[in-house]
Chain A
Amino acid sequence: MQVFKIPDSMKKGFKYTFCPGCDHGIAVRLVAELLDEMNLKEKSILVASIGCSVFLYDFLDVDSIEAPHGRAMAEATGVKRARPDKFVFTYQGDGDFASIGLAESTHAALRGENLSGICINNTTYGMTGGQHGPTTLIGQKTTTSPMGRFAETYGYPIKIAEHIALCKGTAYSARVALDTVAHINQAKKALKKAFQVQLDGLGYGFVEILSTCPTNWKMTPDQAHERVKNEMIPEFPLGVFKDVTENIDKV
């Protein structure tokens, strides 16, 4: 009996370059499984971002293009407008999606672009070594908020999934986590829906994934998942913030 199989949508012989205990690996695998299950690999165009998330194009065996920092949703818009028959998605970090790229992310949602966006929220800039970012929690110490984030100077973290849900062109917006098996299963369902709304031409599908960064948080993988549960989820509640298909079902 086969108990484990690498998804066909993963590149042959790939090796993850993520840090041990980082949830990126799980998120990428979920995406690959869905590309297999939904038969999307051959029609997919991935727009990669800047940050740890950039390496997705080394792991997924799909057509892909890099985007300058923050511009993934603009590039994806261009790809989709040129080739509406393709499945176009982005995979971005919170800095890329919600800080430098907030304008592009918001306007793609407002235009109701038929795109699927995935945003990894780990409350820090991982690639550059753990700096303060748009989702850094109040009190969280980073290399550029060594005293801990305090609102008077640093302002407040952004709630991305709620923000995107406010945009009228958004078809689906959810926040999920990867700290437990149950949450991983929920995450996969959310991703599937964010993909499906694009395929159905309903508009912008978005999933924010709460993720770990054990290296920069200076924690073990277990401690990092404890932090997701105890500190992140209370600030960034899990759930579906918009789902136009619910309304369609009711009709």
Chain B
Amino acid sequence: MAEKELLKGNYAIAEAAVRAGCECYFGYPITPQTEIGEYLSQRMYDLGRGYVCAESELAAINMVLGAASTGAKAMTSSSSCAVALMQEALSYACSDEVPVVLVNVMRAGPGLGYIYPAQGDYTQAVYGGGNGDYKMIVLAPSTVQECIDLTYKAFYLSQKYRNPTMVLADGLLGQMMEPAVFSKYPYPEIDNSNWALTGAKGREGRKICSVAPSEEKQIEHINNLFKKYELIAENETEWEEIGTEDADIVLVAFGSMTRNIKAAAKVLRGQGLKVGMFRPITLSPFPSGRLNELSNHVKKFVVVEMNMGQMVNDVKLAVNGKTDVELINRSVGQWLSVEEIVDGVNKFIPAGVN
């Protein structure tokens, strides 16, 4: 077992991509994820793998689409306002069933926003900013170690289901350092010889496209995509929960905010409140089933996020009116502190309870 080293989130993601077997990286700089492209420019060159400083994020994501259509593992990384530029290609990649891997290290929006961290791209990632009905797989790390583990997983899931997969990190995770270790890429290689573009040798030409020749075929295509999404939800939905068995209140967060709700839950337990924490690791598929189960005994869910309230809507849908769902949030910037979360939760408790 390798020893832990102090690693920056962006470098952890970049090196994990290399170790996952990423054959091509295409990218364009944007703070706070630029180190990914900087690191890979040398690393991929040394390894004789593909690297292009793309002319734009539009070009970068479409280069990934092209490379991945040949069965190669390929990736780009970017941040919020530039990931917005990539939405068209992600819609294509979902419909084309091409295993694109994309990392979004979120910064503040809307518009250009600013470089400090935020979680404002939840909806864009989970529901898609492109046209039509499609879903990406979205994984949300909360530590530098998970930046590695979930980058590995993104390559695996994207190949396994031929579906674009996003690692949704944030500026805090991208910029911070923390002890972590590169384990070996733990997943099997997926055989893609039955669909990848390799030249029509001894077979008919393959066509990867989203245009079906008739309405019936188009409906069939979309239905098949959604059957696949159901299968992904069944097999791959992942979450973490602590202290939920007896909890009256469950704090819910994703990404690096998870760290703060874990600590807040401990503080609140210390105050005598039965508080647990829950966080989706896969934002898409979202662990709605488990949240619904928990709502049988949990009296209140408190969603904590760095946006104006995005994931809170999915929690509400999951519990479907069975229990209260509250929001503690800030739009961008300074992460909500443990104290702010504790105070916020206490405000939701009517006087005299406990």
Contacts and interface: CB of A to CB of B under 8 A. Distances in A.
A and B touch in the complex (CB under 8 A): yes
B59 A71 contact: yes
Interface string A44-87: 11011000001001101111111110010011111111110011
A132 to B, nearest CB: 23
B273 to A, nearest CB: 51
B103 to A, nearest CB: 17
B26 A103 contact: no
A162 interface: no
Question: Which interface residue of A42, A62, A81 has the most chain B CB atoms within 10 A?
Answer: A81
Contacts of A47: 66
A129 to B, nearest CB: 18
A83 B70 contact: yes
A82 B59 contact: no
A77 to B, nearest CB: 5
B89 A81 contact: no
Nearest to B210: A66
B1 interface: no
A43 interface: yes
A40 B64 CA distance: 24
Contacts, number: 137
A57 B200 CA distance: 13
Given A68-B92, A74-B54, A61 B200 contact: yes
A41 interface: yes
B70 A104 contact: no
A65 B198 contact: no
A76 B66 contact: yes
Contacts of A61: 200, 204-205
B347 interface: no
A78 B89 contact: no
A78 B74 contact: yes
A96 to B, nearest CB: 13
A77 B63 contact: yes
A107 B55 contact: yes
Contacts of B62: 67-68, 71, 74-75, 78, 104
Nearest to A73: B59
Contacts of A80: 66
A183 interface: no
A41 B205 CA distance: 9
Contact of A78 (B24, B200, B205, B210): B24
Contacts of A111: 52
Interface in B59-107: 59-60, 62-70, 72, 74, 88-89, 92, 96, 98
Given A78-B66, A111-B52, A65 B200 contact: no
A75 B66 contact: yes
Interface of A: 11, 41-45, 47-48, 54, 57-58, 60-68, 71, 74-83, 86-87, 103-104, 106-107, 111
22 contacts: A42-B199, A42-B202, A45-B199, A48-B209, A62-B200, A64-B207, A65-B65, A65-B96, A74-B58, A74-B66, A75-B66, A75-B69, A77-B26, A78-B24, A78-B64, A78-B67, A82-B23, A82-B67, A82-B70, A83-B198, A106-B55, A111-B52
